[in-house]
Amino acid sequence: MSHLTDIEIARNAKKRPIAEIGERLGIEEAALVPFGHDKAKVSADFIESVADRPNGKLILVTAINPTPAGEGKTTTTVGLGDGLNAIGKKAAICIREASLGPCFGMKGGAAGGGYAQVVPMEEMNLHFTGDFHAITSAHNLLSAMIDNHIYWGNDLEIDERRVVWRRVMDMNDRALRDTVTSLGGVANGFPRQTGFDITVASEVMAILCLATDLADLQKRLGDIIVAYRRDRSPIYARDIKADGAMTVLLQQAMQPNLVQTLENNPAFVHGGPFANIAHGCNSVIATTTALKLADYVVTEAGFGADLGAEKFMNIKCRKAGIAPDVVVLVATVRAMKMNGGVAKQDLGEENVSAVEAGCPNLGRHIENVKSFGVPVVVAINHFSGDTEAEVDAVKAYVEAQGSEAILCKHWEKGSAGVTDLASRVAELADSGAAQFAPLYPDEMSLFDKIDTIAKRIYRADEVLADKKIRDQLRQWEEDGYGNLPICMAKTQYSFSTDPSLRGAPTGHGVPIREVRLSAGAGFVVAICGEIMTMPGLPRIPSAEQIGLNESGEIEGLF
């Protein structure tokens, strides 16, 4: 097995010119907008030109509830894409872009790991093709135009206390969470309390990832609620006349980015909304474009299946009119052991009974995903210390649930380690077995949608929401927002709202602390617990170690 680090493997990659990768998908060179020699955007004209083609098969990779052991969801997404190509299928993967800010706090997240990675790794963790910077600019232009409107006379009668649109920065900067702006006198406007979120938490990010084209993008941007009047009537970005300029700032960012895996297979990396207050999936336009160009598209959703897959199904698929043909649920022996009560430092020791004790978390995710009418395969992402007995325990458990689990060694071996999974996934996708249906209909009331998710996915006994929250939901229904799906913001570590409650808990309540309307993105956010939308830096931020070495290579980022 490999003794190289992820970054060493990535640097050794024999990348092909991006035009060659595009050619594999039938994209002529003129339809690619290159960013360096190894990244390109796919032009809007080209995307429009393939709109009438039939779709390939859609494969969602999701996972159990994350544990500190690491599950390898992106690694498996990349490995499976390579595996499908290795068995002769025309496959592409679709994953999210990384946020720049957090890379300067903790070490940066690579796109995959081992021999299942997307490259160029450094650039993907830094400015990449500038999409997030464009989102930051578009978001903050709207912010500036709101304050400017108030400054010049406030014709729209914005209640300055009820401006809900904040500013964003792609940086971990706790000092910006809560600020007072417009100090310093008349020339600087009317002081008010506001703050910054990190760019990935911007509704503009969620909108870009759900918009089907530029016209839809502009419509959604116009629909953003930025403030309220004293009579509580909403003011939209359209009223501020910011939607056109925001669209111009995002025109290029709307084009999906094409890069490649270590095995030179096509990878779309586009968009990266938060998986709590937003839906946590790569862009609709990347996924739908990939479906026109490849026979199999492997994509992933944020966090575990309770959040990521649920939102993928109920928000992304519903909005985009797409449906998964098969779902791959990633699990690891180590994560099963942690769910079974083993501490992180003891994960190296064989412990079959702990594996067995941890399996119910996996079992519930299998059940949940099946309830959407989609076949499920469990991918056991192999770690070097896993014993055969432990792997067999997971397999046996999954089989007892009427599903199947396949051991994968893509981290160690690339596509050669994942052909079994690839073959089975292709077979299931081709079988037409999937009968996808979202969990709830558009017409269901907002509260009932929350209740349905809580009871059917989280297996809670009840949803706890006070009168104010129920009234707010009813008000939105009266205002015409009742048909929106729900975006749950909950801890990713448990089915419940208590992060320490591992396994497959029952009997819990789901308290709704707050609800928010993302009218542009088109969902209602139900917040259960503390949600951090602007991270801070740790005591010793990784930025302190980041620098260029004598060869001009980046050190300390990974």
Which residues are known catalytic residues? 73, 75, 96, 107, 275, 303, 383, 411
251 binds its own copies (CB under 8 A): yes
Q: Which is nearer to its own copies, 207 or 418 (CB)?
A: 207
Tokens of 256: 């999906």
44 binds its own copies (CB under 8 A): yes
Q: Using CB under 8 A, which of 193, 431, 435, 483 touches its own copies?
A: 193
For its own copies, which stretch binds (CB under 8 A), given 239-247, 272-280, 367-375, 499-507? 239-247
CB of residue 275 vs its own copies: minimum separation in angstroms? 22
**Helices marked H in 152-250 — which ranges?**
203-210, 214-223, 243-250
Q: Which is nearer to its own copies, 244 or 348 (CB)?
A: 244
For its own copies, which stretch binds (CB under 8 A), given 371-379, 500-508, 520-528, 546-554? 546-554
Contact set for its own copies, span 113-132 (CB under 8 A): 126-127, 130
- 309 vs 58: CA distance, rounded Å: 13
Q: Which is nearer to its own copies, 152 or 232 (CB)?
A: 152
151 binds its own copies (CB under 8 A): yes
Q: Kindly state the DSSP code that residue 199 receives in the 8-state scheme.
A: G
b/e string for 97-108 if b means 16 or more Cβ within 10 A? Answer: bbbbbbbbbebb
Nearest to 308 by CA among 276, 264, 340, 336: 276
| Contact indicator for 69, 332 with CB cutoff of 8 Å | yes
Contact set for its own copies, span 66-85 (CB under 8 A): none
Beta 554-555 vs 547-548: how paired, if at all? antiparallel
**Count of residues interacting with its own copies (CB under 8 A):** 74
556 binds its own copies (CB under 8 A): yes
Q: Which is nearer to its own copies, 173 or 404 (CB)?
A: 173
For its own copies, which stretch binds (CB under 8 A), given 244-252, 298-306, 495-503, 506-514? 244-252
35 binds its own copies (CB under 8 A): yes
98 binds its own copies (CB under 8 A): no
Q: Which is nearer to its own copies, 65 or 257 (CB)?
A: 257
Instruction: Give the per-residue SS3 of 285-352.
Output: HHHHHHHHHCCEEEEEECCCCCCHHHHHHHHHHHHHCCCCCEEEEEECHHHHHHHCCCCHHHCCCCCH
Q: Which is nearer to its own copies, 56 or 120 (CB)?
A: 120
Nearest to 505 by CA among 465, 461, 463: 461
242 binds its own copies (CB under 8 A): yes
Rg (CA), the chain: 23
For its own copies, which stretch binds (CB under 8 A), given 4-12, 31-39, 452-460, 520-528? 31-39
- 362 vs 377: CA distance, rounded Å: 11
- 289 vs 286: CA distance, rounded Å: 5
65 binds its own copies (CB under 8 A): no
Peptide bond into 120 cis (omega under 30): yes
Phi, psi of 193 (to 5 degrees): -90, 130
CB of residue 236 vs its own copies: minimum separation in angstroms? 14
Contact set for its own copies, span 307-326 (CB under 8 A): none
433 binds its own copies (CB under 8 A): no
Between the alpha carbon of residue 482 and those of residues 220, 298, 441, the distances in Å are: 17, 32, 11
229 binds its own copies (CB under 8 A): no
CB of residue 150 vs its own copies: minimum separation in angstroms? 9
CB of residue 193 vs its own copies: minimum separation in angstroms? 7
Q: Which is nearer to its own copies, 251 or 419 (CB)?
A: 251
Contact set for its own copies, span 163-192 (CB under 8 A): 167, 169-184, 187-189
Q: Which is nearer to its own copies, 19 or 464 (CB)?
A: 19
For its own copies, which stretch binds (CB under 8 A), given 20-28, 137-145, 402-410, 439-447? 137-145
Distance, first Cα to last Cα, the chain: 20
Contact set for its own copies, span 520-539 (CB under 8 A): 536-537, 539
Question: H or E element: which one contains 517?
Answer: strand 514-518
Identify each DSSP E strand in 334-427 by its residue range: 376-381, 404-408
Q: Which residues contact 550 (CB under 8 A, 6 or more apart)?
A: none
